[in-house]
Structure 1
Amino acid sequence: MAPQERTRRAAAIRDADEARNELSSALDGAGVLLPSLGLDPVSLASGYLPPLVDLGRCNPGTARKLAEALREGRATELTTKVREVNQRSEQRIR
């Protein structure tokens, strides 16, 4: 592997690691722990696959917590967007 390719590969691996850390932090904030969350070793060793974040395995209780956190996140996001639109509408009326 050429030095330039190694540099790009290292940057891609750092990016995947940062993404894994961001996901772990967000899940932690939602009360969800994925014990096997990590980087996929096969993709890290590959010369042609991009580095992948491996969500790993979890028990059914954790899967349900994750599903609940995702549902709540969608509801919160939608509520926030509706409030923003309503505020803009109120400002136009005034």
Structure 2
Amino acid sequence: MLEGSPAVAVVKDAEEARNALRAALREAGITLPSLSLDLVSLAGDFPRPLVDLGRCNPDVARRLAEALRTNAP
């Protein structure tokens, strides 16, 4: 029942952003062992997920991932 809800879509989007960042970091030879979604930001009926690496929103995570891909050795 919740699968089609906007909250689930927002969390899935944040997971995709985290995964994109993890992959880009891996391509650059970087591992952030604690890279995850901030659990507190997922709480409530309308989650506002943060990618936890020191915290940034999913859009910033995507931009960082793209910058790493563009500038990787």
TM-score (norm 1): 0.52
User: Secondary structure in 2 aligned to 1:46?
Assistant: coil
- Structure 1 segments of 4 or more deviating over 2 A? 46-49
- Which is helix-richer, 1 or 2? 1
Task: Please state how far the C-alpha of 1:48 moved relative to its aligned partner.
Answer: 4.6
What is aligned with 1:52? Answer: 50
Q: Out of 24, 27, 30, which is 1:26 matched to?
A: 24
Q: Out of 2, 13, 16, which is 1:15 matched to?
A: 13
Structure 1: any 5+ residue segments left out of the alignment?
Answer: 57-68, 77-94
Bigger-Rg structure (1/2): 1
User: Is 1:35 aligned with 2:27?
Assistant: no
Tell which has more relative contact order, 1 or 2 (C-alpha 8 A, sep 6+). Answer: 2
Structure 2: any 5+ residue segments left out of the alignment?
Answer: 55-66
Counterparts of 2:41 and 2:10, CA distance in 1: 11
Q: For each residue in 1:6-52, what CA deviation from the matched residue of structure 2 results, as whole angstroms up to 9, or x when unmatched?
A: 70000000000000000000000000000000000000113455111
TM-score (norm 2): 0.65
Task: Please state how far the C-alpha of 1:73 moved relative to its aligned partner.
Answer: 1.6
RMSD: 2.9
Counterparts of 1:49 and 1:16, CA distance in 2: 10
Aligned length: 59
